[in-house]
Amino acid sequence: MSIPEKIRQCHPALTALRRDIHAHPELAFEEHRTADLVARRLEALGVEVHRGLGGTGVVGVLKAGRSLRAIGLRADMDALPIQERNDFAHVSLHAGCMHACGHDGHTTMLLGAAEVLAAHPDFDGTAYFIFQPAEEGEGGADAMVDDGLFDRFPMASIFGMHNWPGLPTGHFAVHDGPVMASADRFDIEICGQGAHGAMPHLGTDSIIAGAALVQALQTVVSRTLDPLDSAVVSVTQFHAGEAYNVIPDRAKLCGTVRAFSAAVQDRIEATISRIGGGVAASHGVSVEVDYRRGYPPTINTADEAAFCAAVAGSLPGASVLTDLPPSMGAEDFAFYLRHKPGCYVWIGNGPGEGGCTLHNPHYDFNDAIIPFGVAYWVELVRRLLPKT
């Protein structure tokens, strides 16, 4: 039996598994049912299982041959705090929680690859199947690293994959270099002097200062960065006041910063603080900026990117794009790439119309792409850990 045939035979069962995970979503660091399901299936395949990394993470270890070479394959397991608006049979059973980013599909495809490779261990070395918690903003990758992932499971490189709505089924996108941006956050507290709304001259208006600051922040990218450096500074919250006739003494701005390099992050952070000080001086208020680094940019290493493009291009019916622009979205796979070379690819999820876009209440993972994802993982292991 060929491996592609084995994948085709597994497809119906994997589809049922994916839909079961979709119906039972769990938020960051709460993936207890999902982690147990993953662990039990790996154990049933004869794969060595380690639980509890980074909280609820699971690592499966599959060895074949005698080589000391090893690689890591990662899938994320957590869902999002979104109320699902679909009406199919596998809709979320948990109010206010759904798999709106396809982590149910990622987990399923990696389990499918473990099943195929356990049945056909046509490689020489060790494959680590990494099922990670808390990708959605909580840094589960960093938690697994801190919990000794690379010490306990020494691997030469690590690989990830994410579905991508709008990219046709059967297509892969592979980036040499940046693929996802960093994700920093800022909170800016503005403190003035409150006054009656009918007597503004008796106070110092925090709202006016806040509005000026919002406008000024629009120049961070357009006037302080090299035009060839991509970045985003977005103010996403403005909180001030509770009454119609009171000018509040305080206002708060919150937002996000995206970039593809630490140097650009440094420049933006310094510029926001400088602008805050200028607005404070010109409006007679105090401004306090709290800038926090979040996910670093996800930067694929060149050799691994080229290898992954070759693997994806070898799959029957698959096509590879290497010229798509990177995304300003963020991904905590970046934490792994701070320690190991590797590559994070996009797998086409088909058309994104009709709500089938990421983080949308009408999203659903496309089960038709499961065989492509499984085949990619299997072929990656076979080529990176070839029999000699």
135, 269, 331, 367: the catalytic one is: 135
C-alpha separations of 386 from 70, 119, 160, 191, 246 in Å: 11, 16, 20, 63, 72
242 labelled catalytic:
no
176 labelled catalytic:
no
Residue 84: the pLDDT is 97
Residue-by-residue pLDDT tens, the chain, 388 positions = 456 888 999 999 999 999 999 999 999 999 999 999 999 999 999 999 999 999 999 999 999 999 999 999 999 999 999 999 999 999 999 999 999 999 999 999 999 999 999 999 999 999 999 999 999 999 999 999 999 999 999 999 999 999 999 999 999 999 999 999 999 999 999 999 999 999 999 999 999 999 999 999 999 999 999 999 999 999 999 999 999 999 999 999 999 999 999 999 999 999 999 999 999 999 999 999 999 999 999 999 999 999 999 999 999 999 999 999 999 999 999 999 999 999 999 999 999 776 689 999 999 999 999 999 999 999 999 999 999 8
Distance of CA 212 to the CA centre of its chain: 33
CA distance 51 to 100: 25
Residue 3: the pLDDT is 63
Other beta carbons within 10 Å of 119: 14
Residue 261: the pLDDT is 95
78, 104, 115, 364: the catalytic one is: 78
Residue 2: the pLDDT is 59
Q: Positive or negative CA dihedral for 257, 263, 269, 275?
A: negative
Residue 91: the pLDDT is 98
CA distance 229 to 232: 10
Task: For residue 235, give the nearest of 185, 195, 198 by alpha carbon.
Answer: 185
